[in-house]
Structure 1
């Protein structure tokens, strides 16, 4: 098949187009490859430049995640860069301080929200570096969704050097400006002489004083203000000051303007630089002094007529003037007019007269008051004296170093305001210190006051209460915390009743966490209503437990009462019968007994007596511990009463050949006591002393009257007791580990004696030492 020329041409054009397209694609691919290599090279250069740059970037995303080079971690003293901004505080390991980190996070959040740039300075923990931080919103190309880009700069060295240079420059400028301004603006003539003692600089006051046209004219013509005195010119006097390197001060007459005036001239050597001088017009000072003295006299004349107390102290802190009210307020002695008091002595005199407030450390307080003389401004203080006087003290330091003191008696003016302030402070302190939760509501339902416990007990944030919410908002917030949300209406009704109906109501609610709250609304005199809330969860549980325990104790007490009543009868009845039958046998009712039988009957009667005494002691001791022992008091003479107790034991004392010393007289007086019970108590103590004393030993019984009452001492020289034995002897019935009663010295005599004495409102004191005897002291009211 043959192709036509046109087809061949078309085929050639198509092949040429394909060739051209292939070439174009190859060239385009090579161009993109070159651009890619260039981009990679540029990226590497930029990365290297960033790594070597003095600033380090840090990208903070909207979720707090951070991205940055590890070099920043080294600047912050961290082992590695954390993943989130909040982790830059590494604690002891380094990182930013907590305050700096909080400031940085606030600034980053503000930048992410408002796109506002910021800058700040931070110092890593434990490092002396100063890091400058500049942040702005990151470009969306870098990080979308509102990320912040932070640049960190280490400018520690430059910051220190810059601060030092700035400080030196500012100080130099300030000193130079102050010096030039001081010299030029000084109201007194001032000048400066060079090493050749010629004038080099004069101020405006000097030019005006010599009547020259300008300072340059004075320097050019060497116009002197001070005339030649005693053959010495001003330059020669300045030379003497420079040679001696000592300031020279003299008083001379000079013509100032058109007037002849007295000047105090001073020449001050300045080393090799020259001599500076100045002249002070004493004439004006003298005139001002005369005017001041006249003013002071007029002022004191007026002050003496005032009703407030006014006093003036001079530079030496000596009282130079005090008007009559001041002398009356501080009770100053008449001798103070002739012998003026110093400030410290004045305070001592006023303190002795009770005209100063009570302070804990008076010398320190007195030194603090002495600071009034050197204070830069007036000081005001309020003094409350011991007699209730309120003084308003104003201390005005004077230019001459003295003090102007004003004392105003404001007792009447402050009575109402002090009462009101005290009431407000008391109310605030009471609110905050109470265990209850308190809130005050206005009649419109808006919360006015509350204490710290109120937000805590409802679990609400304290910041929410700063808006003074209404009762409806409060009920809405606490509804979800109640076990039954409908109970919030009861709280609102209580507040409404207290504020509008002026009635007091209360109630109780239970929270969802199981706590029980008791609340009450109380109307206040100012029209507001007080809502009190108290957590009674623990008290409710304790109340239930106490109620159960009380029921058990009442049952136990009833059982004990019945037991004592039964035992009193059950013990005494058979024992009385045994004693009665033994007495009948002894009298021969059942026939004459042999001598051995008589001995047996006598032994039975003695045992019955001892057993009766022991049973009576046990019952009395048990009744005393239970609080059921009856005490019938009557008045009795103490000496006669104790003497009778001693005489009843004459046989036992003579059997052991004891010496009993009874000390006392009628001064012991009388006492109110149950004769039977107190006789048993003292008799038990005396029986123990007789039993403990050795044969031929000594017993002391002493009676005395004291301010607190009557004192009875029973002492023996027996073997004594150890502390453990003494403690065991004073115990009542005490069971051992084996379930049997523990043995004690003296049986139940000492515990019973102590119970009987305490039943009379007294006390028993025992002192005993092993090998030295025992002393029992009875103190009765």
Structure 2
């Protein structure tokens, strides 16, 4: 009811202000002004008419008859004027009455305004209660404030400070209230809140909308309502705390659970559900999945009390792996809760530490460097075998953990420590490492001739580690190294190659006389520490090109991690040719070496010139052969054609001598054409432009064709050809023309050397997919020297042969067989004939791919 009355109060106040004050007052003033203007107009009109009528009447009385006739007309007008004046008087009377009525209405309006003001006063008296305050927002105008809150709540009395909620409300309440008011004003969302002041007082805040205005009603609660509000705040705080703790427990990686008094699960976090392989914590609770074993749960149930929580390390299986948990379980009045911390890694680290310490002890025990470790009381804790061997001490004595001072005294009495002028001062200085944080390093020269570097490192927790490094061999090696350096220096000085070594800063470290002689510089110009820029300037008169010393300088002074090596040749103005090499050294230095290769370069240039001349001569020879061959082929073809034409009867009959000459011309022309074709084939092979025309060949048809072609040659030599071949040799993929040439030339060579009346044997067979054949003749055979050159071009052996050719047949055979990736060989013995064996593998038929 209070909220409804307060809402209606805003509307009543506005209506009272608008109706009782503004509208009646304005209407009254307007009507009065209008009435006065009407009365004034009527009076002014009557006065004017009177001024016109009176002079007219006077003139009518004093005028002549003629003039009276004219005035009678005017009399009518005067009558009309008098009527108008009468109407004006009537209107004035009506206006006066209307004025009286308006004054009566004004009195009523003033009475209503007085009543509205009294009503506003009553509302203000009602709102002025000290237990509530109202804030009213009307659009963007400043808010209006009504009422006050008690001083003990801590609410500021001033209007400007009241809306600064953060100053007198608790942060959580202030933030929530500001958001609620913002939503009320801009989104029209009502609210009911319980807020708490900085002094701990509780207020009820209600937000409402009415008549286009936003109202925030602040009420101080007392007695039971205040207690209920406090309980509500405390409940919300507890719920927030519980939700926060549950969110925290959900975020940690350790399983956490809560059980009731009977031991059943009530709540678990996500880590628990993951440990028991449940899809969610609710599933783990619903299915009562346990992360601990039954034995562990029984042990916890039997031992845990409210005063004595359970705390122990237990083992369980998680995701199929053995896991160690540090379990804490606390019992309360209504149940228990617990947490399991995964200490598997800790246990593993503990075991790893044990193994590491053991491994370190074993490692130190196998070191060749003596090591001894003393504790904070300067007693021996650890020693390795190298320590025992170095000082030759009794193992039983060392096992007694002697004091360090006692150990030094024992070693001194055994004459194993360096002799000192003041033993006491030296021992105190040596044992001062236990009071120092810095590592101490000393050299001990023992009486037996050994040199030890003693490194003593103090431990932050007390004690020290002593390491005895035997430098005897190192000193020996250093002495030999210095000797070796002197020997190498002498060796470099006597080298014929020029050598110069530069440091990473580009300054020369050493150079030999050969280097200075090659570049024509003095020893002072190449002295130790001279920068490479100065060396470049000194060498400029001998060689001044960008790819010379400037490139050396760039490589030597480069900051790149991987310095490249370089090699090349330089030719000096003096005519010397130097072979140089830039070699990076392991110690960030760079070595330049220069070798005088003038004589070698001159000889190389002479050989290159001769080789170039030979190459040109060979090219000239090939050009000549090809040109002559092509030029000879056309006339020979004409000669052979005309010779065949002369043999025909249509041309005319020839006598016996003419026919004989024509036969000689035909034979010689055919031989010459064969030689030209062979030369062209060889030239094509040499040029690398010959391509085989592969096709599928029937071997039996090929042999028939070859035997038919050899008929005339066999008859001429009175030799028979015996072919031993299967009737089904099959097919082979090869160049038919070149394969036929191979067979014809081998058979021609055999017929040429076969005795008259003998037979040339040809055997053919297949080995897998290869075509193999041999040709044997019973001729004179060949000697080993002849066999060595039988495949050479223009190699002829006229002994025992009927014809002497150009010596190109077997050379062409070898070239064509190689193009087929085959093999050819000759076996011959003087007096027993010759056998030629040839193997031709089948090729893959080329496939033509059609355009898609």
- TM-score, normalisation: structure 2: 0.32
| Larger CA Rg, structure 1 vs 2 | 2
- TM-score, normalisation: structure 1: 0.35
